[in-house]
């Protein structure tokens, strides 16, 4: 708030906090920030004494504090001393753990909120004395994101039955003309059960819909469901073993057939048939579905399930009457894989895989006055930079997806006035995988088999050195800017699951020392070797300017440590392809290291963290559709994941996922680089809700062009 916003914007934030009873606390990464807080107080922007916390005394933050102080002085801002800070507010100082905390006189809390206090807050929500949004604010102050606060209220039978309606002005269906969208990684197929990556999911979202979606605030909103199940409406069983879903009536598929409970059950049967080889099979693990009546379905879990609105809720549904003849081994032969028949706001007109998707308004769409646009055109191909330019600078297109472009370039484009950059926090992280399996050896006719081990990267010293050769801060500052924050965690959001235990350090000298101690000696060519093997790796990623710049930064650091990297760029349409015969896909992973981003599609980590369990290996047997592309495995991780699936205590469950994150990150086969919000380019007149937890096009029915 202090550094990034003018006083007027800060005033708006403080007013909202006041109106909703949110605890006001100023988190000061350097005590100099308290000067600004003092100015706020003197101007009457808030009443009462400030709540302040400072990281000044935390040894781990010393470099951060030093850097912030340097930046402040470069901006010709003085940095207050601790004595000056105390003089401003009459503060006394207490110590909480390793972190010094500034306490306002009379403020005595030094311990985290206790369970009985949390239950009192929930009871206040029940009685109506504490607004729901104020409760969310209190939980956010404790590091609990809105989705987890929602689950707490749901467990107490208090979750709201639906998210707030999305804003929408048009008063009739159609009339908005053409909507032009750029997905520079164009969808390659339009069956959500076979999608590989976000590009295919976005393509499916134009035509298909799910039971629910997650809104920008992390609330669950109904789509094909008539309402959100809860304890209050009898939808959620007290033992966590079943959920009753009532379906929306009057919904029809694009060919006029009615949408019913049979369709919901069919998707479960279709995905769980091993011969189908659906990428959504994991969505339906450990559950079965029962038809109660024509528009009611009961989901029965094999065990108590803490996060009952799992991925199955947001899985796009296909019609039984169209796909039933293609169950199992014939699933890839269905004509509707390329000619979708859904319930969504647009009907298919034309599809050229990887290049073009065209749709027309669905006149029988089940929401009134929607959709606004008469047609939609989704253009694939090209690159993120040209996509950004077409929206932000020239205004040729209305929307561009996944703008993985240097932030400085985006800022220059925005000055054209045609469009703006829209950011939405979710769970996406950019990372490097160091091969666990051997890409140079065939096992049972398969390279990079999970049955093999990489002959060099199995050495922990090599992985430790590689981790020290990633200059995350420079990558953030000079490549990603506001579109990527340096991180040492693979699991970054919601905050409740973010590990405080990991750290990253960039040091060429320490990397050299580690390799020296492990016996890796420099050869005549300067490249280290040991036992006849050189530290020479093939490093692949998709062709994209920020990723190529990241490759270059890491290559230069590795050269100084005696490691030679061969850089390989693969066209995004190939790298993320669902073509099982293509050896250059990230799923085949026929390289020593590779880089890409993985998105958490819902505000719970279960479906995100299953990419590291041993039963999800990408392999020839499953047509490389398994989610564990890295082939990494760890028995403790597998056990923790199984335990987390049934742990109903949210605190214990969070601790399990934090431990899982630590196991992955500390083994250093997975090297997180930056935590990335969704970055989109949006025409200045286009109104569209963005959620970090759903595909952008999942809310397509609510898009409109403002006058």
* CA dist., res. 700 & res. 377, Å (int): 12
Q: What is the DSSP letter of 337?
A: G
Vertex 698 angle, CA 695 and 702, to 5°: 130
Instruction: Give the pLDDT confidence score for residue 323 in this predicted structure.
Output: 97
- Residue 236 pairs in a beta bridge with 243
Instruction: Give the pLDDT confidence score for residue 98 in this predicted structure.
Output: 28
Q: Are 370 and 225 in contact (CB under 8 A)?
A: no
Instruction: Give the pLDDT confidence score for residue 244 in this predicted structure.
Output: 97
Spans of the chain, pLDDT less than 50: 1-3, 29-32, 52-114, 143, 161
Vertex 598 angle, CA 594 and 602, to 5°: 170
Q: Are 610 and 617 in contact (CB under 8 A)?
A: no
End-to-end CA distance of the chain: 32
Q: Are 580 and 623 in contact (CB under 8 A)?
A: yes
- Stated length of the chain: 707
Q: Are 624 and 587 in contact (CB under 8 A)?
A: yes
Q: Are 474 and 550 in contact (CB under 8 A)?
A: no
Beta strands in 353-474 (DSSP E): 356-361, 375-380, 399-400, 419-434, 442-443, 446-447
* CA dist., res. 157 & res. 532, Å (int): 64
Q: Are 50 and 85 in contact (CB under 8 A)?
A: no
Instruction: Give the pLDDT confidence score for residue 328 in this predicted structure.
Output: 92
CA dihedral 147, 152, 156, 161 (to 10 degrees): 0
Query: Superfamily for 429-601+671-676?
Result: Dipeptide-binding Protein; Domain 3 (3.10.105.10)
Determine if residue 332 is left, alpha or beta; phi over 0 gives left, psi from -120 to 50 gives alpha, anything else beta. alpha
Using one digit for the tens of pLDDT, what is the confidence trace for 376-420?
999 998 889 999 999 999 999 999 998 988 899 999 999 989 999
Sketch the domain layout of the chain as residue ranges. Answer: 178-416+679-705, 429-601+671-676
Q: Of 663, 659, 601, which is closest to residue 201 (Cα–Cα)?
A: 601
Instruction: Give the pLDDT confidence score for residue 545 in this predicted structure.
Output: 87
Q: Of 224, 174, 289, which is closest to residue 704 (Cα–Cα)?
A: 174
Instruction: Give the pLDDT confidence score for residue 572 in this predicted structure.
Output: 86
Q: Are 475 and 486 in contact (CB under 8 A)?
A: yes
Q: Are 446 and 589 in contact (CB under 8 A)?
A: no
Q: Give the position of tokens 């995905």.
A: 271
Query: Superfamily for 178-416+679-705?
Result: Periplasmic binding protein-like II (3.40.190.10)
Instruction: Give the pLDDT confidence score for residue 82 in this predicted structure.
Output: 45
Instruction: Give the pLDDT confidence score for residue 76 in this predicted structure.
Output: 38
Which three-class secondary structure state does DSSP give residue 2? coil
Kind and range of the H or E run holding 673: strand 670-683
Q: What is the DSSP letter of 445?
A: T
- Residue 377 pairs in a beta bridge with 180, 358
Q: How many helices (H) and strands (E) does the chain have?
A: 20, 27
* CA dist., res. 43 & res. 41, Å (int): 5
Q: Of 346, 301, 313, 76, which is closest to residue 190 (Cα–Cα)?
A: 346
Using one digit for the tens of pLDDT, what is the confidence trace for 323-363?
999 999 999 999 999 999 999 999 999 999 999 999 999 99
Query: What residues contact 45, with CB distance under 8 A and at least 6 apart?
Result: 7, 10, 11, 14
């Amino acid at each position: 708030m202090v550094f990034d916003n003018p006083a007027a914007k800060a005033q708006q934030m403080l007013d909202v906090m006041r109106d909703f009873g949110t605890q006001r606390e100023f988190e000061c990464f350097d005590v100099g920030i308290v000067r600004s807080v003092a100015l706020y107080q003197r101007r009457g922007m808030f009443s009462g004494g400030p709540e302040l916390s400072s990281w000044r005394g935390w040894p781990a933050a010393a470099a951060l504090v030093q850097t912030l102080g340097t930046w402040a002085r470069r901006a010709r801002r003085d940095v207050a001393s601790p004595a000056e800070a105390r003089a401003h507010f009459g503060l006394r100082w207490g110590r909480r753990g390793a972190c010094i905390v500034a306490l306002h006189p009379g403020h005595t809390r030094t311990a985290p909120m206790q369970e009985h206090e949390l239950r009192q807050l929930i009871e206040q929500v029940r009685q109506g004395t504490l607004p729901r949004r104020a409760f969310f604010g209190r939980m956010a102050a404790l590091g609990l994101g809105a989705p987890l606060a929602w689950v707490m209220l749901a467990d107490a039978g208090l979750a709201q039955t639906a998210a707030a309606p999305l804003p929408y002005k048009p008063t009739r269906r159609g009339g908005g003309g053409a909507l032009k969208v750029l997905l520079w990684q164009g969808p390659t197929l339009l069956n959500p059960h076979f999608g590989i990556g976000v590009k295919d999911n976005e393509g499916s979202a134009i035509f298909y819909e799910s039971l629910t979606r997650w809104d920008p605030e992390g609330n669950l909103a109904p789509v094909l469901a008539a309402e959100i199940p809860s304890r209050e409406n009898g939808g959620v069983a007290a033992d966590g073993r079943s959920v009753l879903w009532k379906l929306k009536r009057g919904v029809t598929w694009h060919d006029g057939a009615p949408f019913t409970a049979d369709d919901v059950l069919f998707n479960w049967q279709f995905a769980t048939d091993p011969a189908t080889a659906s990428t959504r099979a994991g969505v339906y693990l450990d559950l079965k579905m029962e038809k109660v009546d024509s528009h009611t379905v009961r989901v029965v879990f094999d065990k108590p399930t803490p996060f009952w609105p799992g991925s199955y809720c947001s899985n796009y549904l296909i019609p039984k009457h169209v796909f039933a003849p293609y169950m199992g081994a014939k699933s890839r032969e269905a004509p509707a894989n390329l000619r979708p028949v859904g319930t969504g706001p647009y009907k298919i007109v034309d599809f050229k895989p990887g290049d073009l998707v065209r749709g027309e308004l669905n006149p029988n769409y089940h929401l009134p006055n929607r959709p606004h646009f008469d047609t939609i055109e989704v253009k694939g191909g090209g690159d993120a930079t040209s996509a950004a330019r077409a929206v932000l600078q020239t205004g040729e297109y209305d929307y561009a997806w996944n703008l993985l472009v240097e932030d400085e370039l985006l800022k220059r484009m925005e000055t054209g006035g045609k469009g703006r950059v829209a950011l939405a926090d979710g769970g996406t992280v950019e990372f490097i995988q160091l091969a666990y399996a051997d890409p140079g050896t065939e096992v049972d006719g398969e390279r990079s088999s999970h049955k093999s081990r990489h002959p060099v990267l199995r050495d922990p010293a090599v992985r430790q050195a590689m981790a020290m050769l990633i200059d995350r801060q420079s990558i953030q500052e000079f490549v990603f800017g506001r579109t990527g924050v340096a991180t040492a965690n693979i699991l970054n959001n919601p905050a409740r699951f973010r590990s405080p235990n990991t750290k990253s350090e960039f040091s060429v000298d320490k990397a050299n020392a580690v390799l020296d101690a492990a016996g890796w000696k420099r050869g005549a060519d300067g490249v280290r070797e040991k036992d006849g093997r050189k530290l020479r790796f093939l490093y692949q990623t998709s062709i994209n300017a920020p990723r190529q710049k990241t490759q270059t930064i890491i290559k230069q650091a590795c050269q100084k440590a005696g490691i030679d990297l061969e850089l390989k760029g693969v066209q995004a349409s190939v790298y993320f392809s669902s073509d099982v015969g293509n050896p250059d896909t990230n799923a085949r992973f026929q390289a020593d290291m590779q880089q890409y981003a993985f998105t958490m599609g819902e505000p719970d980590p279960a479906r995100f963290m299953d990419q590291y369990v041993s039963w999800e290996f990408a392999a020839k047997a499953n047509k490389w559709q398994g989610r564990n592309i890295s082939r990494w495995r760890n028995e403790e991780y597998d056990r923790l994941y199984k335990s987390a699936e049934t742990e109903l205590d949210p605190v214990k469950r969070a601790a399990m996922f934090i431990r899982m994150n630590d196991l992955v990150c500390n083994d250093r086969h997975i090297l997180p680089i930056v935590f990335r919000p969704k970055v989109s380019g949006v025409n200045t007149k286009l109104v569209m809700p963005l959620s970090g937890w759903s595909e952008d096009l999942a809310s397509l029915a609510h898009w409109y062009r403002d006058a």
